[in-house]
Amino acid sequence: MPSLIRSSAMLAALSMLFIALSAAPLRAQDGNLAGEDTDDPARVFERAQDAHAKNDLEQALKLYDAALKLRPEFPEAEIQKGRALISLGRLSEAEQALRRAASQRPQWALPLASLGLLLVRAERDREAEPFLRRTVEIDPQDHATLLALASLRLRAGAKDEALRLARQATSVTSAPVSAWVARARIERAAGDKTAAAASIERALQLHPNELSALEERALLRADEGQFEKAIEDLQIMLRAQPDAPRLKSTLASLHAQVGESYRTSDPARALEHFQRALELQPDNADYATGFAAALVQARRFTEAITLLRRVIAAAPDNYAAHANLATALDGLKLYEQALVEYQWLAQAKPENAVVYFLLARCYDLLGEFESALLNYEKFLAQASAQQNELEIEKVQLRLPSLRNQIKRGAGAKRKK
């Protein structure tokens, strides 16, 4: 789970940086363009800004285009047009507008940073890197671009440079909480968990209820196996965002991991956590199977069988569900039914030697000695002397008497 979440969290961080760069309105920098005439490009640009602020993006685009028609080299209008196009998901057109802005005013950091972040978002890292590097040359304290460049370098495997850039981004006292959270994400992804924890604590000192900081601390704690503490952080976040599906998914996953960690040592506690995971994601077959496995461990076989049959009806190829169903049926001495499941397991994974031992044992208990012998022999042919030592000893003790029983014609015959 942590590795699964890590990449999505990093992308989320980059998206937030991009939004931060795109939020502030611009004003035309030529004081001679402040007239009231609608043929004045600065005035048209101001009207476009007003429409943009009201989220009337189509009207804003029309007005940005009108301003650009009046003044073709107008980088403020180009960059705002690019931002509006990004909001509308028209990324190719946005890239063209940002490139024009960057070429028209090459010493202006904002279009360079915006273009670099857009290319990072499109996973075009090699194209993005020169724009991000040029931005930090112009503005060495641009924390958003420094962190984006750090993430890019981390993906390229340059961990030391990534860490240096992330720490540079928070070197000024005015670094916002979002910068400390992004730094922590980079440190965690680079494997420096001690530094990541310190950065998160700094973020929480700045803003004790910052949700992104709590989420990052939860992910860090999950990476370190502190699942229950991670759950506490996510529960705080869910109280603030009760309808956030991503948080629910992450919290359910953590409950399932805690449940799995307790499954053999503390089945009651495992059941509690798997139940919470299922409450958050009722249709998740893996969580239902984990809950059933904990029921099996607690020897609540009948409940487990009911649940597992529902899981298999919805997911017929769920190997863990079939394995737990076989164990539950076996535990209730329903050997005929257990055989069906063991046979499915043997067909699904014929390389799993222990399944043949379990098949043989069921046949043996049913008095079908010839089938038992056949499967004992399959087991011995595939068994590992180290991993299956106990089962091998049992089989070797059983085989002489089993062969004698077969010679005498003892045992039941399976009906055809």
Q: State pLDDT tens for residues 33-74.
A: 344 457 899 999 999 999 999 999 999 999 999 999 999 999
Q: Is residue 338 part of a domain?
A: no
Q: Is the dihedral of CA 80, 83, 87, 88 positive or negative?
A: positive
Please state, in angstroms and rounded to a whole number, the distance separating the CA atoms of residues 306 and 372. Answer: 28
Q: Would you state the pLDDT for residue 2?
A: 40
**289 and 210 in a common domain:** no
DSSP state of 33: G
Residue 152 lies in a domain: no
Structure tokens at 117: 């972040």
CA atoms of 302 and 307, how far apart (whole Å): 9
One domain for residues 234 and 276: no
Quick one: 17 and 73 in the same domain?
A: yes
Contact yes or no for 256/227 (Cβ under 8 A) = no
272, burial (CB in 10 Å: exposed 0-12, middle 13-18, buried 19+): middle
d(CA 113, CA 123): 15
Note whether residue 109 is domain-resident.
Answer: yes
Listed in sequence order, the DSSP H helices in 71-158 are 75-87, 91-104, 109-121, 125-138, 143-155
238 and 251 in a single domain? The answer is no
* 127 and 99 assigned to the same domain: yes
- Same domain membership, residue 387 and residue 301: no
Which DSSP symbol is given to 229?
Answer: H
Cβ atoms < 10 Å from Cβ of 300 = 17
412 located within any domain: yes
Clarify whether residues 234 and 253 are in a common domain. no
Q: End of a domain among 332, 366, 400?
A: 332
Asked if residue 127 and residue 5 are part of one domain, the reply reads yes
HSE (CB half, 13 Å, CA atoms) of 49?
16
The whole-number pLDDT of residue 62 equals 95
- Do the domain assignments include residue 354? yes
Q: What is the pLDDT of residue 28?
A: 54
Task: Point out the domain boundary residue: 332, 352, 376.
Answer: 332
Q: Is 36 helix (H, G, I), strand (E, B) or coil?
A: coil
In a domain, 57, yes or no: yes
- Domain finish residue from 242, 257, 286: 242
Among 370, 357, 359, which residue's Cα sits nearest to residue 405?
370
177 in the same domain as 98: no
Which pLDDT belongs to residue 23?
47
Structural domain contains residue 299: yes
Q: Which residue segment(s) compose the domain that 400 sits in? A: 343-416
Phi, psi (deg, nearest 5) at residue 99: -65, -40
Q: Tell me which DSSP letter residue 72 carries.
A: S
- What residue has token string 């310190």? 198
Do both 5 and 130 map to the same domain?
Answer: yes
Task: Give the pLDDT confidence score for residue 238 in this predicted structure.
Answer: 86
- What is the count of structural domains for the chain? 4
SS3 content of the chain, % helix, strand, coil (to 5): 75, 0, 25
How many other CB atoms are found less than 10 A from the CB of residue 366? 17
Check residue 8 and give its pLDDT.
44
Q: What pLDDT, on a 0 to 100 scale, did the predictor assign at position 34?
A: 41
Q: In this predicted structure, what is the pLDDT of residue 356?
A: 97
CA dihedral 243, 244, 249, 250 (to 10 degrees): -130
- Is 262 found in the same domain as 247? yes
**Cα dist. 136→140, 168, 183, 225 in Å?**
5, 11, 16, 37
Q: Do 307 and 379 belong to one domain?
A: no
The residue with tokens 């992910």 is: 219
CA–CA separation, 281 and 291 (whole Å): 13
pLDDT of residue 26: 64
| 254 vs 234: CA distance, rounded Å | 9
Q: What is the pLDDT of residue 227?
A: 87
Residue ranges in the chain modelled with pLDDT below 70: 1-37, 413-416
- The domain that holds 296 is classified in CATH as 1.25.40.10
Q: Is residue 379 part of a domain?
A: yes
